[in-house]
């Protein structure tokens, strides 16, 4: 794969699988993230955001990555709208 787009690591694949199957997990997502990946929610979301920008992730799980990108874009738009209305 191109040097700018490294292959997925085992952790990358585990995170994609976790996001794909999240609806079937019981309990709070943050607690599951901590237990499974030893990451706090901020660190997990930073890693996930980098991961969904990786073309290798899209090649591995195209529907999931595109859905996560849409969700991220929607959240960014909502934050921008809130900032605009507050200012």
Residues 58-77 pLDDT 10s: 999 999 999 999 999 999 99
Q: Please say whether the beta carbons of 59 and 6 come within 8 A.
A: no
Query: Rounded distance, CA 52 to CA 70, Å?
Result: 11
DSSP 8-state assignment for residue 38: -
> Would you place residue 1 in the very low, low, confident or very high pLDDT band (cuts 50, 70, 90)?
very low
Q: Please say whether the beta carbons of 5 and 56 come within 8 A.
A: yes
Q: Please say whether the beta carbons of 8 and 57 come within 8 A.
A: yes
Q: Please say whether the beta carbons of 51 and 12 come within 8 A.
A: yes
CA angle 24, 47, 28 (to 5 degrees): 35
pTM equals 0.80
Confidence (pLDDT) at 2 = 44
Confidence (pLDDT) at 26 = 60
> Would you place residue 4 in the very low, low, confident or very high pLDDT band (cuts 50, 70, 90)?
low
Confidence (pLDDT) at 24 = 66
């Amino acid at each position: 794969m191109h040097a700018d787009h490294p292959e997925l690591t085992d952790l990358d694949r585990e995170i994609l699988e976790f996001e794909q199957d999240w609806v079937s997990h019981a309990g709070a997502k943050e607690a599951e993230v901590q237990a499974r990946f030893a990451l706090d929610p901020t660190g997990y979301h930073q890693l996930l955001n980098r991961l969904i920008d990786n073309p290798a992730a899209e090649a591995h799980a195209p529907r999931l990555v595109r859905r996560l990108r849409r969700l991220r874009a929607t959240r960014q738009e909502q934050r921008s709208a809130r900032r605009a209305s507050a200012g």
